[in-house]
């Protein structure tokens, strides 16, 4: 089975093996060795990712057309795959080549890449099949370029009880609790929701990591099974340290969240989002704070040079 996957993969990347597109082709999908228009891409209805959420995923982005932090994202993918005992049959070199090729074919100024790997197709039963070929799906969509400054508008969030499973560090596709929390936020007139554990400690938002600023210092929940530690989270912490800001990875409560001088969220696609209200209560001055601006400025300074010049 892995041999078949590798042969199809090599064929997909061999010049002349498939007709190359004469013009940019938005919304492309790569499915098990084949590139095709997203509207034509399909998977089997008995794919375990569809029926059991027996799958993991990653989201990457480009800066100036180049994939960013590929090794860090693939390291996290490897950790997620190992946690559910799943092997893709593709080497890191092969997977990287597919990512680069689909970005090239999409030809967007900036690109969001979504990659999902399931355990594959098998008769529906909760027990994993003894043998199955994993399903590898990758899609691309356009993404706005990185702004030179963080928006002063900011986001509003609500807090919700964390009812997710106990292994949030695995980037799995079972995101129903996140969907429900996000919908609750929209119903409440907010932009997003932040999960709060039973002990009152803050975990993360529905799609990003959370930071608070208190007396000029940054706090963010520590890595562990209660959060999905983001690649952008780590980049922002490095940027903050580079800017001379003290950072601490330690738990903080909902009360501390509400009393914070500044709050911001991070993720691959949006990078940094200042939070200006939590549960209807203003945070700090009610707009993006100076520490958040300083951290983002350092993060932006560290981006690939061509992106900074072009923006």
Query: What string of pLDDT tens digits covers the 311 residues of the chain?
Result: 444 455 555 555 543 344 333 344 568 999 999 999 999 999 999 999 999 999 999 999 999 999 999 999 999 999 999 999 999 989 999 999 999 999 999 999 999 999 999 999 999 999 988 888 999 999 999 999 888 888 778 999 999 999 999 999 999 999 999 999 999 999 999 999 999 999 999 999 999 999 999 999 999 999 999 999 999 999 999 999 999 999 999 999 999 999 999 999 999 999 999 999 999 999 999 999 999 999 999 999 999 765 344 33
Residues 159 and 293 placed together within one structural domain of the fold: yes
**Residue in the structure block whose two tokens are 């709060």:** 196
| Residue 246: burial class (beta carbons within 10 Å; 0-12, 13-18, 19+) | exposed
Residues 219 and 135 placed together within one structural domain of the fold: no
Residues 126, 88: Cα–Cα separation, whole Å: 20
Residues 201, 214: Cα–Cα separation, whole Å: 16
| 171 included as an active-site residue | yes
Q: Which of 142, 177, 208 is the last residue of a domain?
A: 142
Residues 154, 272: Cα–Cα separation, whole Å: 10
Residues 134 and 161 placed together within one structural domain of the fold: no
Domain residue limits at 298 = 155-305
Torsion sign across C-alpha atoms 46, 52, 54, 59? positive
Q: Which of 120, 142, 164 is the last residue of a domain?
A: 142
Residue 311 is assigned to a structural domain of this protein? no
User: In sequence order, what DSSP letters do the residues of 119-131 get, joined into one string?
Assistant: --B-SS-SSPPSS
Radius of gyration of the CA atoms of the chain, in A = 20
Look at residues 216, 272, 274 and name the one whose alpha carbon lies nearest to residue 244.
216
Residues 116, 41: Cα–Cα separation, whole Å: 14
Q: Are 37 and 141 in contact (CB under 8 A)?
A: no
Residues 129 and 170 placed together within one structural domain of the fold: no
Helix (H, G, I), strand (E, B) or coil at 219: strand
Residues 186 and 220 placed together within one structural domain of the fold: yes
CATH for 280: 3.20.10.10
Q: Are 86 and 119 in contact (CB under 8 A)?
A: yes
Residues 223 and 265 placed together within one structural domain of the fold: yes
Residue 30 is assigned to a structural domain of this protein? yes
Residues 298 and 174 placed together within one structural domain of the fold: yes
Catalytic-labelled residue, pool 171, 223, 235, 287: 171
Residues 42, 44: Cα–Cα separation, whole Å: 7
Q: Are 98 and 88 in contact (CB under 8 A)?
A: no
pTM above 0.75, yes or no: yes
Beta strands in the chain (DSSP E): 28-31, 34-37, 55-63, 66-67, 111-118, 135-142, 155-161, 192-196, 202-205, 209-214, 217-220, 247-249, 262-267, 271-278, 281-282
CATH for 8: 3.30.470.10
Residue 21 is assigned to a structural domain of this protein? yes
Half-sphere exposure of 212 (CA within 13 A, CB side): 27
């Amino acid at each position: 089975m892995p041999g078949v996957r590798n042969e199809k993969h090599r064929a997909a990347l061999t010049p002349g093996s498939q007709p190359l597109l004469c013009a940019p082709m938005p919304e492309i999908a790569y499915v098990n060795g084949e590139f095709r228009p997203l509207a034509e891409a399909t998977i089997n209805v008995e794919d375990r990712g569809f029926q059991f959420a027996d799958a993991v995923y990653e989201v990457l982005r480009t800066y100036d057309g180049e994939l960013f932090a590929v090794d860090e994202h693939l390291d996290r993918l490897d950790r997620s795959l190992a946690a559910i005992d799943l092997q893709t049959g593709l080497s890191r070199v092969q997977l990287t080549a597919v990512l680069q090729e689909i970005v090239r074919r999409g030809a967007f100024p900036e690109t969001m890449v979504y990659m999902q790997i399931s355990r594959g197709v098998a008769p529906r039963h909760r027990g994993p099949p003894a043998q199955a070929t994993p399903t590898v799906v990758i899609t691309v969509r356009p993404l706005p370029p990185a702004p030179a400054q963080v928006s002063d508008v900011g986001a509003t969030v609500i807090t919700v009880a964390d009812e997710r499973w106990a292994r949030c560090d695995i980037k799995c596709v079972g995101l129903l609790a996140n969907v429900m929390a996000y919908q609750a936020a929209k119903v409440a007139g907010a932009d997003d929701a932040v999960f709060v554990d039973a002990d009152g400690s803050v975990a993360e938002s529905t799609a990003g990591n959370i930071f608070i600023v208190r007396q000029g210092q940054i706090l963010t929940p520590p890595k562990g099974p209660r959060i999905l530690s983001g690649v952008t989270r780590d980049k922002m912490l490095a940027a903050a340290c580079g800017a001379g800001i003290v950072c601490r990875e330690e738990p903080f409560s909902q009360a501390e969240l509400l009393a914070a001088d500044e709050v911001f969220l991070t993720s691959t696609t949006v990078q940094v989002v200042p939070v200006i209200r939590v549960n209807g209560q203003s945070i700090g001055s009610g707009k993006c704070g100076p520490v958040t601006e300083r951290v983002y400025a350092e993060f932006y300074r560290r981006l690939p040079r061509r992106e900074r010049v072009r923006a």
